[in-house]
Structure 1
Amino acid sequence: MSLPFLRAQLRDPAFRQGAGDMAGTCLGIGAWGLVTGVAMAKSGMSLPMALFMSLAVYAGSAQLAVLPLMVAGAPLWVVWLTAACVNLRFVIFSSMWRSYFAHLPRRHRLALGYFSGDVIFVSFMKRFPKPVPAPEQVPYFWGAASANWLAWQVPSIAGIVLANAIPLSWGLGFAGVLALLGILLSMLNDRATWLATAVACTAAVATFALPLKLNILVAIAAAVTAGLAAEAAERALRRARTRAVGGDT
């Protein structure tokens, strides 16, 4: 992306609108980022590696999921599989964003993929519910993505650098849980999501005794299966209703 393009995005009103829509979630994202940064530093990871992981991976749930595995010396395939499963939702996000961004150059789409996030997806879909490309969608995304990236990276890097100066008595782990709950509740906007969340919680608790935190993988697989099944059932029900209405007329 060229410098003139970036300047044009910054001047676009939709960019400011996207950043403004993300403002309400920045506090929770920042708390989560701080917890993740401290966790990486206290896991024994070197400072350069922790900074690299924060900037390159940029996926809080995946980072927190693989850290205990790395500390426990889990096989590399388990670490990679866990991270991939935790981020499976981005495959669904990307398939839905295709209707909006498929016309963009590949480099631009790759950049969109790196900067995408859960809360950005929710905010974007609320603002643009119809899957039809529009000029304001790209600057809106970049406004939301910029706010989200800064809200995550600044506290995360601060947590990495200042981990030894932050006492455990601050209860950052509990603060991080509260931040995650706040973000999660903002995403529960339909029955399929509620069902997937309930299934994930049940599966995670039921398989808690599994080694190497494999209960996380079980919970993710169960949640994805339940969510996809619920969405398929809802689509089938809508088609049946449409056919019924058509038959009545």
Structure 2
Amino acid sequence: MTNTALPFWRMPGFRLGIRDQGTVTLGVAAWGLVTGVAMVKSGLSIPLALTMTMLVYAGSSQLAVLPLLASGSPLWVIWLTGICVNLRFVIFSSMWRRHFGHLPRGKRVWMGYLTTDMMFVLFFKRYGNAAPDAEQQGYFWGAATVSWLSWQAASVLGIFLAQIIPLSWGLGFAGILAILGVALSLLVDRATWLATVVAGTAAIAAFALPLKLNILVAIAAGVAIGLLYESMDKTLKQHGGHTP
């Protein structure tokens, strides 16, 4: 078990986490810059944008709710959209539990705040089938440090340069590409592919709904089909078969 008395920068695996997260830092920073610019362009003041980037620290949900904020959508729609976009972190946390469930609750809360999509992908590529050991917590903190610093630095830069950076640079499209890159890295099995296709189809079919409710429809459809597929797959495996 990890020696929790050690400062995180001295834990085994810390440098390894820094090195692995460093391979995707440029993409994380680009996404942070896009989000910082988008917050100010959507009408948030600089103090509010700085508060949002520090407290929320979730680019996909920030980009999802910003148009709703700008259009004066009801608060319940804004909150529900943010929650639905971040539902994947419920799954992430359930998988982290195997490796970090023994840690104090306060530390696990901080780890939940610092968790990102790419950290999750990199961690489970390296430790997905490994038994919990002392190196893994250090790896997490190393990756989290690089991810948080690169995101916040780029996001703050975007906030202060938002009035200088013209919309003609196509930063909105760059943000879409950044999110798409993360999403594609998470497509690891048939269930996730099927859920993605269904969610995309639902988003297009429900595009005419007001207040961007097509986003909620797409999330609900994707989650439902993913859970249904996994349930069917589990049932068939128990009877010696498998889903197509």
Give the alignment's TM-score, normalised by structure 2. Answer: 0.92
Corresponding position of 1:149: 148
Identity, % of aligned pairs? 60
Is this contact kept in 2: 1:30–1:152, CA < 8 A? Answer: yes
Q: Per-residue displacement from partner, 1:184-243 (whole Å, max 9, x unpaired)?
A: 22211111111111111111111011101100101111111111122222322333339x
Q: Give the distance between the partners of 1:109 and 1:11, measured in 2 at CA.
A: 19
The one-letter code matched in structure 1 to 2:202 is A
Is this contact kept in 2: 1:99–1:131, CA < 8 A? Answer: no
> Is there any run of 5+ residues in structure 2 with no aligned partner, and where?
none
Q: Per-residue displacement from partner, 1:56-114 (whole Å, max 9, x unpaired)?
A: 00011111111111111111111111111111111111111111111100110100110
Q: Give the distance between the partners of 1:147 and 1:241, measured in 2 at CA.
A: 45
**1:81 and 2:80 aligned:** yes
Corresponding position of 2:90: 91
Is this contact kept in 2: 1:69–1:79, CA < 8 A? Answer: yes
Corresponding position of 1:212: 211
4+ runs of 1 displaced by more than 4 Å?
Answer: 4-7
Is this contact kept in 2: 1:28–1:183, CA < 8 A? Answer: no
SS at match of 1:127: helix
**1:52 and 2:51 aligned:** yes
**1:20 and 2:14 aligned:** no
**CA RMSD in angstroms, aligned pairs only:** 1.8
Alignment of 1:217-228 (within 5 A): 217-228=216-227
Alignment of 1:39-188 (within 5 A): 39-130=38-129, 132-188=131-187
> Is there any run of 5+ residues in structure 1 with no aligned partner, and where?
243-249
Q: Give the distance between the partners of 1:44 and 1:92, measured in 2 at CA.
A: 33
Q: Give the distance between the partners of 1:155 and 1:99, measured in 2 at CA.
A: 32
Is this contact kept in 1: 2:60–2:179, CA < 8 A? Answer: no
Q: Give the distance between the partners of 2:211 and 2:13, measured in 1 at CA.
A: 44
Structure 1 window deviating more from structure 2 (26-35 vs 108-117): it is: 26-35
Q: Give the distance between the partners of 2:38 and 2:31, measured in 1 at CA.
A: 11
Corresponding position of 2:230: 231
Q: Give the distance between the partners of 1:193 and 1:22, measured in 2 at CA.
A: 23
Alignment of 1:2-17 (within 5 A): 8-17=7-16
Q: Rate the CA distance shift 1:158–1:48 in 2: closer, same or farther, 3 A.
A: same
Is this contact kept in 2: 1:61–1:86, CA < 8 A? Answer: yes
Q: Give the distance between the partners of 2:14 and 2:238, measured in 1 at CA.
A: 37
Q: Identify the structure with the greater helix proportion.
A: 1
Quote how far apart the aligned CAs of 1:7 are.
Answer: 6.4
Is this contact kept in 1: 2:206–2:214, CA < 8 A? Answer: yes
Structure 1 window deviating more from structure 2 (127-136 vs 197-206): it is: 127-136
Corresponding position of 1:37: 36
Q: Rate the CA distance shift 1:95–1:28 in 2: closer, same or farther, 3 A.
A: same
Q: Give the distance between the partners of 1:215 and 1:193, measured in 2 at CA.
A: 19
The one-letter code matched in structure 1 to 2:231 is A
Q: Give the distance between the partners of 1:6 and 1:53, measured in 2 at CA.
A: 32
Quote how far apart the aligned CAs of 1:131 are.
Answer: 6.6
